[in-house]
Amino acid sequence: MPAVPPAATARRSTTRAVAIASLALTLGAMPAAPVAAQAVSSPAVRGEARPAKAAKATPAAKPSKAAQRRVSSPKIQSDNAPDAVTYGRRDDAMALADQLAQQHGLAPDWVRAQLAQARYQPAVARLIMPPPAGTAKNWAAYRARFIEPERVRAGVAFWATHQRWLDAAAERYGVPADIVVGIIGVETFYGRVTGNFRVLDALATLSLDFPKGRKDRSDFFRDELGQFLRLAHTEQVAPTSIKGSFAGAIGLGQFMPGSINRFSVDFDGDGHIDMANNPADVIGSVAHYLAEHGWQRGMPTHHAVKPPVDTADRAALLAPDILPSFTAAQMAERGAVLDAAGAAHPGPMALVELQNGDAAPSHVAGTQNFYAVTRYNWSSYYALAVIELGQAVAAAR
């Protein structure tokens, strides 16, 4: 899902009918998983035993008084546990409603009424947590989740169906079709997996009951909750009707509400922006988002590289992480060996390292365009999966 920068761009004058009436997303089930977590339907039970022939009924034994007390006694819940039903009775939720109303120019009573319908979702609090400490990153395993035959075939079909809009986005924004196809494929399997959480519940849970055990991002989600309510109010759609990922991302491109408000475009010119069901708007918006985050027309995303043998030199090149910081000459001075195209690259690059569990790590020299893809999801693993899925789909056409 696109990461949201702190500064907002000017809101376009076109009507933002995000067609959220259909954002109850019948397209499929993140986190996408980023990527977003994918909802999996419970399989049918096979080999289920047929009912046995009814036996002659016998009177049931009367339960003891102690057993009756055990059955009727309600389960006691900690006073510190979040309200599992609704946020409407919580003072902090209503205070947040007043704050968001003031920030986004909404009527306080309306915002209170919407937030009062939000429900705490334990699954959201669980899914937002990072992997257990000590879990080794593995690029080969991560790659295999996305660059696989079924997703590649779906990407070929998506490209064939929407080539007109992919070509138009490449012409207008300079973002090649394979990058847009790679992003939509990784994010939602081309619309198959878009999330089945009520976005209102997800954002309220992460705003008011962000789980302990990781860096607190409740401020980010409070801002997104406000952006979401503003979006729903503008489009005159009930916030409870909109579904998305456990993190509150919406539609084929898994845009957060703030990204919809800032970067979505009416790409087919029909006067509406539909990030759920209109691939033209999704394609144009994804390309526009990347262009706004530094994508350079015609520049490769990365080059092949062998990292320095010397541990100090390698550490120095890895220190900036994915931020392009070194010229080809500076990388060579530190002992990195670039391919011919990388050695001739005119701009800064980053030595990007991807762990492979117990095996040796993989490395690429990421350019400004590699960094631009990470602005959609702040992960080098994600960025390279997007790039290589797009390449695989292009090769299979």
**CA torsion angle for 180, 186, 190, 193 (degrees, to 10)?**
-150
Query: Is residue 115 a contact partner of residue 232, using CB atoms and an 8 Å limit?
Result: no
Residue linked to tokens 């006694």 = 73
Tell me the C-alpha distance between 25 and 154, whole Å.
Answer: 19
Beta bridge partners of residue 337, listed in sequence order: 306
Residue count (the chain): 397
The residue to which tokens 């050695």 are assigned: 343
What ranges in 177-278 are assigned the alpha helix state H? 177-188, 199-208, 218-235, 257-263
Whole-number Cα distances in Å, 317 to 45, 218, 314: 53, 33, 5
**Is 187 annotated in the active site?**
yes
3 state SS of 333: helix
Closest among 395, 374, 38 to 183, alpha carbons compared: 374
Work out the angle between the directed axes of helices 163-173 and 149-161 (0-180°, nearest 10). 80
Q: Half-sphere exposure (CA, 13 Å, Cβ side) for 226?
A: 19
Amino acid at the residue 183? I
| Residue 214, Cβ density class (10 Å: 0-12 exposed, 13-18 middle, ≥19 buried) | exposed
Cα–Cα dist 137/361, whole Å: 10
Cα separation, 237 vs 245, in Å, equals 18
Tokens of 279: 């691939």
Which 3 state secondary structure label does DSSP give 51?
Answer: coil
φ/ψ of 264, rounded to 5, equals: -70, 150
Report cis status (omega within 30 of 0) of the bond before 35: yes
Q: Which of 187, 224, 235, 353 is catalytic?
A: 187
Beta bridge partners of residue 364, listed in sequence order: 304, 352
As a whole number of angstroms, the distance between CA 301 and CA 295 comes to: 9
Catalytic positions: 187
